[in-house]
């Protein structure tokens, strides 16, 4: 997957291995030279197979062989766009493009043979942006780059990312959103890069990933990330609707990964899927995953009651007093995956719940607490009719395993781990 501007890396796609004892020909083979170039559609087929097998660097090299191949291979190479600090800054720098109709401008630039001139850099990038279907944001660009990007694309009369269908916010990007400090407090804001995206794209899938750490550090992680938890929830909600007529109202699926202690955000009119982390021991280089069961007992983690509070909060946050609960419930659902994951448990329950509960009891305890709590809390909110409680329960689902529709992540796959020193 390219990181904005692909780095050219020359590799041999097919490596010929010759045994030491193999017989070599006594004379070189005759050269085979064809006067007919390889058809572009054949090259595109080859490039598709290369990209599917993680040889994107080879596709990037191939794309730069000719002007024709640059645009022919762009849909393959830029199907997924990764945003990384510094690497993406130049790619996101567009200046002040004065483009009223992108197709017309492209046709004109190609006829004038100026499409690859330095003055047309922004036009080429805008052309490439049309092919991006998936965006992976490792970390947010700097405020300087984000502000310039916002000014550039919001001045254009067309959607800059018309094909964008899914967005993934990785752990560093999520921390960036949580800790971001706006320069002005005249209105609730998101970082400029995200506000720009919400105004020029319409994805249907969004997923975020919290930072994954070894289980022994979970309490330190919780204490370090308490500031900004509710701010993060609020800002994620504003991605869908900022109150000013902008936002990703197109979203239908919202997934959250690597959950241990975090306050859970929810988006209305979406399928909200929460992937709770299992215990992780070992080391960062060689992590060991322990799904709920006997092998995960006595490993450090939150109490079961904390997990039921997380589930209840994820649901109740969508129903503040005064909201139209009936409208909020339209298309909204909650799926909790691996709910007992990372909870403090023991082999057999005894009178001391502080040291954990029996691992086989966690699901029943959590479900029971949610079932008892919601009918008491929700009807107390203005605009929430008591008869809607039953509809809320119909929209709650529990699962052991699920694959994310945005990033393809499986609940029980081992995540990339961070050090506690990386937490801010």
* Percent with pLDDT over 70 in the chain: 92
pLDDT digits (tens, 9 = 90+) for 330-379: 999 999 999 999 999 999 877 777 889 999 999 999 999 999 999 999 99
Is the pLDDT at 14 greater than 50, yes or no? no
CB 263 within 8 A of CB 235: no
Confidence band of 28 (pLDDT split at 50, 70, 90): low
In tens, the pLDDT along 145-172 reads 999 999 999 889 999 999 999 999 999 9
- pLDDT (0 to 100) of residue 189: 84
Q: Whose structure tokens read 């600090």?
A: 85
pLDDT, averaged across the chain: 88
- Note the pLDDT of residue 101: 87
Tens digits of residue pLDDT in 187-213: 778 999 999 999 999 999 999 999 999
Instruction: Determine what percent of the chain is predicted with pLDDT higher than 90.
Output: 67
Q: Phi/psi zone of residue 287: left (φ > 0), alpha (ψ -120 to 50 degrees), beta? A: beta
Q: How confident is the model at residue 17 (pLDDT cuts 50, 70, 90)?
A: very low
| Mean per-residue pLDDT, 212-227 | 95
CB 186 within 8 A of CB 392: no
pLDDT digits (tens, 9 = 90+) for 243-300: 788 899 999 999 999 999 999 999 999 999 999 999 999 999 999 999 999 999 999 9
Query: Facing residues of 271 across strands?
Result: 253, 333
The C-alpha atoms of residue 164 and residue 135 are separated, in whole angstroms, by: 7
Q: Which residues, in sequence order, are CB contacts of 136 under 8 Å at separation 6+? A: 1, 80, 81, 82, 83, 168, 170, 407
How far apart CA 206 and CA 405 sit, in angstroms, is 9
Two structure tokens written together for 160: 């800059």
Q: What is the DSSP letter of 139?
A: S
Hey, where are the domains in the chain? 252-424
Going by pLDDT thresholds of 50, 70 and 90, the confidence category of residue 1 is: very low
pLDDT for the residue numbered 103: 87
What is the per-residue pLDDT for 35?
59
Cα 292 from Cα 344, distance rounded (Å):
10
DSSP character at residue 25: P
The arithmetic mean of pLDDT across residues 122-134, rounded, is 94
* Displacement of CA 348 from its chain's centroid (Å): 38
Q: Say if residue 185's pLDDT is above 70.
A: yes
**Vertex 410 angle, CA 409 and 411, to 5°:** 120
User: What is residue 98's predicted lDDT score, i.e. its pLDDT?
Assistant: 82
In the predicted model, what is the mean pLDDT of residues 41-62? 91
Contact residues for 173 (Cβ-Cβ < 8 A; gap 6+):
137, 138, 139, 140, 208
Q: Across the beta sheet with 80-83, what order do the strands follow? A: 80-83, 134-137, 166-169, 205-209, 253-259, 271-276, 333-337, 396-399
Give the CA angle between residues 345, 346, 349 to the nearest 5°: 105
pLDDT at 320: 92
- pLDDT for the residue 350: 78
Does the pLDDT of residue 26 top 80, yes or no?
Answer: no
SS3 352: coil
User: Which token pair is 64?
Assistant: 């730069």
In this prediction, residue 19 carries a pLDDT of: 43
Task: Give me the pLDDT at residue 396, please.
Answer: 97
- Split at pLDDT 50, 70, 90, the class of 31 is low
What is each CA distance from 189 to 142, 213, 228, in whole angstroms? 16, 29, 14
């Amino acid at each position: 997957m390219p990181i904005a501007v692909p780095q050219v890396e020359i590799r041999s796609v097919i490596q010929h291995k010759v045994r030491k004892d193999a017989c070599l020909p006594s004379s070189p083979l005759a050269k085979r030279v064809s006067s007919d170039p390889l058809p572009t559609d054949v090259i595109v087929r080859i490039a598709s197979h290369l990209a599917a097998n993680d040889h994107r660097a080879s596709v990037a090299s191939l794309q730069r062989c000719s002007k024709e191949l640059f645009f022919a291979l762009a849909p393959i190479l830029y199907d997924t766009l990764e945003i990384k600090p510094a690497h993406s800054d130049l790619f996101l720098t567009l200046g002040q493009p004065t483009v009223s109709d992108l197709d017309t401008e492209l046709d004109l630039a190609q006829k004038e043979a100026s499409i690859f001139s330095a003055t047309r850099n922004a036009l080429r990038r805008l052309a490439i942006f049309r092919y991006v279907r998936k965006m992976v944001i490792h970390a947010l660009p700097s405020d300087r780059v984000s502000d310039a990007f916002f000014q550039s694309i919001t001045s254009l009369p067309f959607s800059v990312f018309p094909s964008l269908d899914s967005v993934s916010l990785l752990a560093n990007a999520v921390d960036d959103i949580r800790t971001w400090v706006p320069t002005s407090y005249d209105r609730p804001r998101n970082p400029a890069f995200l506000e720009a995206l919400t105004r020029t794209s319409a994805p249907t899938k969004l997923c975020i990933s919290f930072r994954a750490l070894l289980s022994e550090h979970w309490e330190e992680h919780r204490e370090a990330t308490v500031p900004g938890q509710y701010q993060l929830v609020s800002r994620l909600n504003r991605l869908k609707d900022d109150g000013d007529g902008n936002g990703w109202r197109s979203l239908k699926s919202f997934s959250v990964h690597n959950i241990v202690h975090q306050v859970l955000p929810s988006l209305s009119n979406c399928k909200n899927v929460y992937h709770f982390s299992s215990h992780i021991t070992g080391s960062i280089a060689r992590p060991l995953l322990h799904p709920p069961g006997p092998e995960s007992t006595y490993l450090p983690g939150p109490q079961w009651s904390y997990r039921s509070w997380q589930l209840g909060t994820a649901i109740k946050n969508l129903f503040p007093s005064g909201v139209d609960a009936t409208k909020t419930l339209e298309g909204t659902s909650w799926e909790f995956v691996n709910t007992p994951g990372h909870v403090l448990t023991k082999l057999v329950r005894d009178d001391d719940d502080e040291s954990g509960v029996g691992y086989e009891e966690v699901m029943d305890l959590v479900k029971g607490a949610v079932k008892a709590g919601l009918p008491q809390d929700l009807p107390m909110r203005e605009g929430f009719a008591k008869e809607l409680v039953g509809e809320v329960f119909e929209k709650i689902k529990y699962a052991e395993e699920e694959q994310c529709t945005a990033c393809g992540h499986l609940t029980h796959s081992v995540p990339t781990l961070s050090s506690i020193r990386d937490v801010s």
